[in-house]
Amino acid sequence: MWRRVASLSALISSTSNRCFLDQVAYRMSTCKLFSSEVKENPLTLKDLFITFVLGGPGSGKGTQCAKIVETFGYVHLSAGELLRREIASNSEYGSMILNTIKDGKIVPSEMTVRLIQKEMELSNNHKFLIDGFPRNEENRIAFETIIGADPDIVLFFNCPEEEMVKRVLNRNQGRVDDNIETIKKRLQVFKASNLLVVDYYSDKGKLFEIDATGTEEEIFERVRPVFAAFQHDQK
């Protein structure tokens, strides 16, 4: 609990977004994550091992997360996938989320963090890969504040832009944002916002930068030692 309070005071002194702050303060007071209201023997925040998975559109985050799940038994939570599920469920926020995604922009942080929080609460596992999150500083601060936790490690899949564009255009999964106009916007948002988050975790000594070129298997051989090293270190 002390970490949440500390994060909130940092947020109060560093941001001018009072409306967002009020909402966060209210939500914190009603936060149930890992409390006894959720489970009889709840996991506490210190039991968790959280990995944020960052990288540009098409850098291969989802592909590599599937391999990490298979080899190391993590739970994969893709922020984009949770938002797409929210659209498909016809939730009241569905059309706002859809328009934001079509426009290559980032959905308001509290919505995304709430979706992640719900999945974490439902899980019996304590090792999470949170893919495509945080996309910007607002995402990062909202997670710290609402969940009250920091990631243990952060992976960054570094891939050249031309390769990311090629992969996205070949993806063929019917995603509304897999077209050249939206990809250009997503790349701009990535460069303007996500790289700041990458730098933040690099400064904290938590960042593992992975060369995301080559075959899926070659890339996974660069990822494997990171998780192997932390396997015995998990809480």
Ligand X SMILES: Nc1ncnc2c1ncn2[C@@H]1O[C@H](COP(=O)(O)OP(=O)(O)OP(=O)(O)O)[C@@H](O)[C@H]1O
Q: Which residues are annotated as a binding site for CMP?
A: 139
Q: How many residues bind ligand LCLUPRNS (CB under 6 A)?
A: 16
**Least distance CB 228 / ligand X (angstroms):** 20
**Least distance CB 151 / ligand X (angstroms):** 17
User: Which 187-226 residues touch ligand LCLUPRNS, going by CB under 6 A?
Assistant: none
Considering only 30, 41, 124, 215, the residue that binds ligand X (CB under 6 A) is 215
**Tally of residues, the chain:** 235
Give how far Cα 186 sits from Cα of 10, 127, 133, 226, Å: 29, 28, 14, 28
Of 230, 159, 218, 235, nearest to 190 by C-alpha is: 159
User: Which 96-155 residues touch ligand LCLUPRNS, going by CB under 6 A?
Assistant: 101, 104, 106-107, 112, 132-133, 135, 139
Give how far Cα 112 sits from Cα of 47, 51, 107, 198, Å: 22, 16, 7, 19
User: Which 164-193 residues touch ligand LCLUPRNS, going by CB under 6 A?
Assistant: 177, 186
Quick one: angle between helices 2-14 and 137-147, nearest 10? 150
Residue type at 215? Answer: T
User: Which 60-79 residues touch ligand LCLUPRNS, going by CB under 6 A?
Assistant: 78-79
> What residues contact residue 152 under an 8 Å CB cut-off, 6+ apart?
48, 49, 50, 51, 206, 230
Determine if 57 is a binding residue for ligand X (CB under 6 A): yes
Considering only 8, 51, 52, 55, the residue that binds ligand X (CB under 6 A) is 55
Partners of residue 52 on adjacent β-strands: 130, 154
Name the site residues for ligand LCLUPRNS (rule: CB under 6 A): 57, 78-80, 83, 101, 104, 106-107, 112, 132-133, 135, 139, 177, 186
